[in-house]
Structure 1
Amino acid sequence: MSTQKFRHLRIVGAAGTALVLALTVAGCSTKTSSSGDKADTWKPSGQVHMVVPFSPGGGSDIFGRAVASGIQDNSSAKVTTENHEGGSGAVGYSFIRSKKGNGQYLLAAETSLIALPMTTKLGYTWKSFTPLMQLANDNNLLMVPADSKLKNLKDVVALAKKGKFRMGVSGTSSPDALVANLFQDESKVKFRKVVVQSGGEMVTQLLGGSLDGGILNPGEAGEQIKAGKLRAIGVFSDERLKGSLSDIPTAKEQGIDVSFGQWRGIFGPPDMTDAQIKYWTGVLKKYSESADYKKYVKQNDLVSDVKEPAAFKKYLSSYADQVKQALPSGS
């Protein structure tokens, strides 16, 4: 992996809804031109911006930084990773939308890009952006503090029936929130949901005792599992994970018929040119074939799943139907 340093910026949506709306309106502006863009060939000129729509420390942040590093190792591009957090991802999505046609900007995306516009009136959907490549599928674990008396999902259900289970979720339309909804519906219980800004914050609150449990990706929870500070008591997948997490039973094994994963991929702004799409697809393809990509997948217990633009779009359309079923009724 390249030893070259790249800057990390953190931009917080402090103005909330007003900022989101302002950026959304900006997305309707005239197409931005990028130097070096010709009819058939294009390559970035100057700084490339990898936008992560959540705060540092979570699965999206880990993914965005891994891909940014991979881009630098497989091209001449210089990449800055920026955290545009706020509004459950809306600040980052609206920022990317405002860069219409500008190939210098990339988005580290996942399930929330599909789910959030279904629950919040934003003026756009995932189809408003440019899918470039899916790179992996991620899993969801139910985590509890290491000293918790909860040993399995049946214990969680029993505590929830008493109205006492505090479940961490990062927004109302995040992948973990969707899993929590499915878990509630299947078990006919209600969790006391506590909204956090990212997987990193959820880990902090679990360690601090503010939560009884939370749904995290292996990459978000792995270090704490190894350190013996958090325990995974269930994975929401059809099969058990491989490797060091293979001893975690699936929800289905425990009588909870819920399986829901999330994709991770890279998008660009609206109205990218064919040349821009071709360039980034080529670079991302090289990264997906590299040793660093394989290391990222293994370290974060991901499932490698690479789809180029056409196949990625088809998959996203189908996945959107699954998301609708996982959203609360009335969304």
Structure 2
Amino acid sequence: MREFLRTAVAVSCAAALAGCAMTEEVVGAGAPRPSGDVTMVVPFAAGGGSDIAGRAMARGLEAAEPGLRITVDNRDGGAGAVGYSYFLAKAGSPDYLLATETSLISLPRSQDVAFSHRDFTPVFKLGEDYTLLVARQDSPMNTCDQAVRRSKEQRVLAGISGAAGPDAIVFELMRRREGAGFDQVPYESGGETLAGLLGGQVELASLNPSEVVGQLRAGRLKALCVFADTRYDYPELAAIPTAAEQGVEVSFAQFRGVIAAGGLDPRAREFWIAAAREYAASPGYAEYVRSEYLQPKTAFGAEFAEYLRANDALLAEVVAR
């Protein structure tokens, strides 16, 4: 499976890059600000957390800068690599943004891709998202530690969104720290992972609260634990224990944010950071954070870049090719 995924990613990246040669004539390098017609690239399929984040940021930035028109472009494939590779070819253009998350760091550490976080312009980290370990309501597993024990005794299929995303990372942390032996089944998005869990293709999944809260309310799924340092404050999630409370010492936050293309004119960079700051101070941002059950830990520009460097160093310990 790992070799298959590597091959798929390489082929996807090559296809994306072949049609998007990085030339100034194509991307209009050096423009001091966006033209007004902007594309928000989402490197995952519609319906998942990244798509929701990208659309919320597009609406929020349009409200912050009324002259902008931002269209969302889902370019999924290769666990996010196709979208990032497409975006790489837009260097210098202020007319492209990308709804980013942890795969920006984990993909270059786990797959043969042509980009790293240093190739892009950090704009705005809008918050952090901790995943839940969830199972169907009829599962014999009720807690995170029970799931770990079961994985040591028999085969347990666990669904993940992307071969190198935060879901894969928490399962890898459980393997390293607790000796768990989950068999991971990668899907292209959180929506597909959820469908696989509900359809019985896998027994467990690591998913964001926003992706599963409806199923938890309906009683179709149950949450075994949250991979966070402390419990959520949101009433719908407050009763879910952390993994550490159950003796499983695993905590990992997926960040969500927006990046611009690399090689921007400094004026374009400052334009996007200023627009992001205005969005972060708006009621729309507060509503998005509440609706998606995020922790509103923000960072802008250079501070976001430093966060990415620190996150990269952390993932170097648990993600390898």
Question: Normalising by structure 2, what TM-score?
Answer: 0.92
Q: Answer yes or no: is 1:153 the counterpart of 2:110.
A: no
**Which residue pairs with 2:271 in the alignment?**
279
Q: 4+ residue stretches of structure 1 with deviation over 4 A?
A: none
1:115 is matched with which residue?
106
* Deviations 1:80-117, CA, capped at 9 Å, x for gaps: 11110001111000111111111111000011111101
The 5 Å alignment of 1:155-234 reads 155-234=146-225
Distance 1:302 1:27, change over 3 A: farther
Q: Which AA in structure 2 matches 1:160?
A: S
SS at match of 2:248: coil
Q: How does 1:3-42 map to 2 (within 5 A)?
A: 17-24=10-17, 26=20, 28-30=22-24, 32-33=27-28, 37-38=31-32, 42=33
Q: How much has 1:22 moved relative to structure 2? A: 4.2
1:19 CA displacement: 4.1
Aligned ranges 1:230-245 → 2 under 5 Å: 230-243=221-234, 244-245=236-237
Aligned counterparts, 1:296-307, within 5 A: 296-307=288-299
Aligned amino acid, residue 188 of structure 2: Q
Question: What residue in structure 1 maps to residue 316 of structure 2?
Answer: 324
Instruction: Tell me the number of residue pairs that the alignment of Structure 1 and Structure 2 aligns.
Output: 310
* Alpha-carbon offset, residue 325 of structure 1: 1.6
Q: Which residue is 2:305 aligned to? A: 313
Q: Equivalents in 1 of 2:104, 2:95: separation in Å? A: 20
CA deviations 1:62-92 (Å, max 9, x no partner) are: 1111111111222121111111000111100
Q: What is the TM-score of this pair, normalised by structure 1?
A: 0.89
SS in 1 for 2:46: coil
Give the SS at the match of 2:71.
strand
| Alpha-carbon separation, structure 2, partners of 1:229 and 1:56 | 22
Q: Secondary structure at the match of 2:108?
A: helix
Gaps of 5+ in 1: 1-14
Contact 1:50 1:105 survives alignment (8 Å): yes
* Structure 1 position 16, deviation (Å): 5.9
Assess, with a 3 A threshold, how the Cα gap between structure 1 residues 77 and 211 changes in structure 2: closer, same or farther.
same
Residues 307, 180 of structure 1: alpha-carbon distance in 2 compared, 3 angstrom cutoff: same
Q: What secondary structure sits across from 1:85 in the alignment? A: coil
Change (3 A) 1:186 1:269: same
